[in-house]
């Protein structure tokens, strides 16, 4: 059934001893799509992923993977998923290739295919030079890649990775990011992460959850438009800035000065302009400023990041639920800062 979404989650709920961890989550993931799963600590990401992979039963709701219901066919579903759990535990005393051989046999990859397939994943994950090393002696970056190699070994249609870049240095993050991007179109991938720039460059679509609920979803560009609804221009300008507001309003009615510094020794001040429109107005703006004899030393459009979206979306959801859950609001504020770091 090529038209069936790879993953369909409908009205999913999970409570632990009466406490809700996931509340009414619904989403689908198309085949070949890479979905980023974002949320502060305790938002319910790992719980959702564990339900998707059949390792944890849902309290209610349904999940299908490639059209198969997880609740009634967990073993069939597990065969179609490569899962890399958070802090992926690996056997410390096994060698890399030995471990992959062992996992491949458990995944029922025929013996004659397993050797060449292990060579392939070692190549893709840049692990060839450590294939005979003991896993316990590997650095964190190599161990993460061993986890990814294991997840993709049986070429499952769906890959689920919980925080695959956690604890890695920027160079290792780049390698893992390229590795995940190389799966685009061939496998359906869900990645949870706090590292927002990672999600932004790797994922086709993003789902933001907070307090067990979906608070926003879409492409990074859609989310920026929907949640932030504005764009900024930064300029260093010399001239009579009190004449700016009518000039800006003539270009675009919502264009306004949102921040302005003091004038420096050379007569320039740094000004931030904000508009509620997302479309590009840089060219008419520049033309109007120079026609009015303003001097410009720099001019740039400040692109809002997914981090801004994440903070705005989680803040918005806390505002909605705050009267019901005041103690957790304090936790979230700290968490959101951590997420931004
Ligand atoms: N086994 C469990 N028993 C009781 N409560 C749990 C259990 N596992 C998770 N929780 C609670 O469920 C909520 C969601 O946790 P979950 O681990 O799914 O969040 P998360 O988004 O993955 O967080 P993190 O980014 O910290 O891993 C949290 O409030 C957590 O304390």
CATH code at 7-225: 3.40.50.300
Instruction: Give the model's pLDDT for residue 226.
Output: 74
Instruction: Give the model's pLDDT for residue 221.
Output: 75
Query: Three-class SS string for the chain?
Result: CCCCCCEEEEEEEEEECCEEEEEEEEEEECCCCEEEEECCCCCCHHHHHHHHCCCCCCCEEEEEECCEECCCCHHHHHHCEEEECCCCCCCCCCEHHHHHHHHHHHCCCCHHHHHHHHHHHHHHCCCHHHCCCEHHHCCHHHHHHHHHHHHHCCCCCEEEEECCCCCCCHHHHHHHHHHHHCCCCCCEEEEEECCHHHHHHHCCEEEEEECCEEEEEECHHHHHHHHHCCEEEEEEEECCHHHHHHHHHHHCCCCEEEEECCCCCCCCEEEEEEECCCCCCHHHHHHHHHHCCCEEEEEEEECCCHHHHHHHHHHHHHHHHHHHCHHHHHHHHHHHHHHHC
Tell me how far the alpha carbon of residue 41 lies from the centroid of ligand 1, in angstroms: 8
Predicted TM-score of the model (pTM): 0.76
Query: How do the domains of the chain map onto residue ranges?
Result: 7-225, 231-302
Name the residue of 38, 45, 49 to mutate for ligand 1: max ligand atoms within 8 A of Cβ. 45
Instruction: Give the model's pLDDT for residue 279.
Output: 73
Name the residue of 12, 25, 37, 46 to mutate for ligand 1: max ligand atoms within 8 A of Cβ. 46
Q: Which CATH superfamily is domain 231-302 in?
A: ACT domain (3.30.70.260)
Tell me how far the alpha carbon of residue 47 lies from the centroid of ligand 1, in angstroms: 6
341 residues of the chain, pLDDT tens digit each:
557 899 999 999 999 998 999 999 999 999 999 999 988 888 899 999 999 999 899 999 999 999 999 999 999 999 999 999 888 889 999 999 999 999 999 999 999 999 999 999 999 888 999 999 999 999 888 998 899 999 999 999 999 999 888 877 788 788 888 888 888 888 999 998 876 777 777 889 999 998 899 988 998 878 877 777 777 899 999 998 888 999 999 999 989 998 899 999 999 999 999 888 767 788 999 999 999 989 999 999 876 677 777 788 877 665 554 443 333 333 332 233 333 32
Around ligand 1, the residues with Cβ closer than 6 Å are: 16, 21, 39, 41-47, 86
């Amino acid at each position: 059934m090529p038209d069936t979404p790879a993953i369909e989650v409908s009205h999913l709920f999970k409570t632990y001893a009466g406490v809700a961890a996931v509340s009414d989550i619904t989403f689908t993931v198309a085949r070949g799509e890479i979905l980023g799963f974002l949320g502060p600590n305790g938002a319910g990401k790992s719980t959702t992923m564990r339900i998707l992979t059949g390792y944890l039963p849902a309290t209610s709701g349904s999940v299908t993977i490639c059209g198969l219901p997880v609740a009634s066919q967990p073993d069939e579903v597990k065969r179609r998923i490569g899962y890399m759990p958070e802090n992926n535990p690996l056997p410390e005393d096994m060698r890399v290739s030995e471990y992959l051989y062992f996992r491949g046999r458990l995944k029922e990859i025929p013996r004659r295919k397993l050797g060449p397939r292990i060579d392939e994943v070692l190549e893709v994950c840049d692990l060839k030079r450590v294939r005979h090393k003991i896993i316990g002696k590997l650095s964190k970056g190599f161990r993460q890649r061993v986890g990814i190699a294991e997840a993709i070994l049986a070429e499952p249609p769906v890959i689920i990775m919980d925080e695959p870049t956690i604890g890695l240095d920027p160079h290792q993050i780049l390698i893992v990011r390229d590795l995940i991007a190389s799966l685009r179109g061939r496998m359906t991938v869900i990645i949870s992460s706090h590292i927002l720039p990672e999600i932004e460059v790797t994922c086709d679509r993003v789902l933001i959850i907070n307090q067990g609920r979906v608070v926003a979803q879409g492409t990074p560009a859609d989310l920026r438009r929907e949640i932030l609804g504005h764009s900024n221009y930064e300029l260093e300008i010399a001239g009579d800035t009190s004449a700016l507001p009518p000039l800006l309003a003539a270009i675009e009615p919502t264009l306004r000065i949102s921040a302005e510094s003091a004038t420096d020794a050379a007569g320039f001040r740094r000004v931030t302009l904000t508009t509620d429109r997302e479309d590009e107005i840089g060219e008419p703006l520049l033309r109007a400023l120079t026609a009015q004899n303003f001097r410009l030393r720099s001019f740039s459009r400040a692109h809002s990041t997914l981090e801004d979206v994440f903070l705005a979306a989680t803040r918005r959801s806390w505002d909605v639920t705050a009267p019901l859950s005041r103690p957790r609001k304090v936790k979230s504020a700290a968490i959101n800062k951590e997420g931004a770091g």
